Amino acid sequence: MDLSFILNELGENRSDYFNAIAPPIIQTSNFQVRKVDELRDLFADESSGYLYSRGINPTVDILREKLAALDRAEDALVFNSGAAAIFAAVLANVQADEHIVSVQKPYTWAQRMFDNILPRFNVDTTYVDGTLVENFAEAIRPNTRIIYLESPNSWSYALQDLRAVSELARDHGIITICDNSYCTPIYQRPIEMGIDLALQSATKYIGGHSDTVAGVLSGSSAMIKKIFDSEYLNIGSGIQPFNAWLLIRGLRTLSARLDRISATTPKIVAYLKEHHQVRLNVPFILHIPKAKKIC
């Protein structure tokens, strides 16, 4: 699907709302249901129609369709923060007494969940240097359920071989989750490399204007439905319609903003490299490869 079509058209049925180019913000908690039978059906499956905005909402649905298409995923959910998306993705796929393998030094709130919250349910996390696939293989135990990735990593920018790690995980029946906040689907699509759940803090490039906190999870319809029916509805951290609208607006310029960032970043690095008060200790940013868009 054409990138510009996804960002500017997909999911926007303008004839439903006076052919407005900007979609409406359906700022409502409840939706009217006229028949008891219909209400019963909606309670049984909140994804089947509009009932209550902790579940689904038309403005949010426009955003979901675009984000799923960008990730080449079957479906996506949008949360009120990247941290909430991380929490729901992990909680949905681990039980008490199970084990997680994570790339070392993940984003702060992923690490705090692994270190402070999950141990209360006897879920242990082993951290590995993700630059070698063998390190993941060695850390796997019979009760490992999740491999958690972040490529590039938040603090070191270290990469993982997403294709190789997802193959390893599949052989062991392990779910893979990859935080793709730094690349966005414009530069990397984890789902196409076999990852089960692609995750982003939409606060960063998707929003792009420092005015919204949000998070995205993309994956198969079955995986997204499983998370929707349980963690998404129960934690109640789905994005609000106005924030979804801000992200739809942010998406219009996503590609243009990333072009600009790719053009200016090497200049900033070159400036810092020469600055007498700066010591660079991340060897690979000395040679920034030219960023390559994949769509």
Ligand X SMILES: *Cc1c(COP(=O)(O)O)cnc(C)c1O
Nearest to 151 by CA among 181, 111, 173: 181
- Closer residue to ligand X (CB): 112 or 260: 112
Find the shortest distance in angstroms from Cβ 201 to ligand X. 3
Other CB atoms within a 10 A radius of the CB of residue 224 amount to: 23
Interface segment toward ligand X; rule CB under 6 A; list 20-28, 54-62, 197-205, 243-251? 197-205
Interface segment toward ligand X; rule CB under 6 A; list 78-86, 97-105, 168-176, 279-287? 78-86
Q: Is the dihedral of CA 152, 158, 163, 168 positive or negative?
A: negative
Contact between 77 and ligand X by CB under 6 A: the answer reads: no
- Closer residue to ligand X (CB): 92 or 177: 177
Find the shortest distance in angstroms from Cβ 251 to ligand X. 16
Nearest to 74 by CA among 180, 184, 192, 240: 192
Find the shortest distance in angstroms from Cβ 159 to ligand X. 13
Q: How many residues bind ligand X (CB under 6 A)?
A: 12
Interface segment toward ligand X; rule CB under 6 A; list 2-10, 90-98, 198-206, 240-248? 198-206
- Closer residue to ligand X (CB): 79 or 136: 79
Other CB atoms within a 10 A radius of the CB of residue 292 amount to: 8
Contact between 151 and ligand X by CB under 6 A: the answer reads: no
Contact between 238 and ligand X by CB under 6 A: the answer reads: no
- Closer residue to ligand X (CB): 42 or 243: 243
State which of residues 201, 237, 240, 243 lies at the interface with ligand X (CB under 6 A).
Answer: 201
State which of residues 57, 144, 151, 203 lies at the interface with ligand X (CB under 6 A).
Answer: 203
Q: Are 128 and 136 in contact (CB under 8 A)?
A: yes
Which amino acid is it at 242?
A: F
Contact between 154 and ligand X by CB under 6 A: the answer reads: yes
Contact between 181 and ligand X by CB under 6 A: the answer reads: yes
- Closer residue to ligand X (CB): 53 or 243: 243
- Closer residue to ligand X (CB): 23 or 106: 106
| Of residues 82-141, those binding ligand X (CB under 6 A) | 82-83, 107
Contact between 215 and ligand X by CB under 6 A: the answer reads: yes
Find the shortest distance in angstroms from Cβ 218 to ligand X. 15
DSSP codes of every residue in the chain: --HHHHHHTTT--GGGGTT-SSPP----SB-----HHHHHHHHH-GGGS-SBTTS--HHHHHHHHHHHHHTT-SEEEEESSHHHHHHHHHHTT--TT-EEEEESS--HHHHHIIIIIGGGGT-EEEEE-TT-HHHHHHH--TTEEEEEEESS-TTT-----HHHHHHHHHHTT-EEEEE-TTTHHHH--GGGGT-SEEEEETTTTTT-SSS---EEEEE-HHHHHHHIIIIIHHHT-BPPHHHHHHHHHHHHTHHHHHHHHHHHHHHHHHHHHH-TT-----GGGGSPPPP----
Interface segment toward ligand X; rule CB under 6 A; list 61-69, 80-88, 243-251, 273-281? 80-88
Find the shortest distance in angstroms from Cβ 277 to ligand X. 26
Give the footprint of ligand X on this chain (CB under 6 A). Answer: 81-83, 107, 154, 179, 181, 201, 203-204, 213, 215
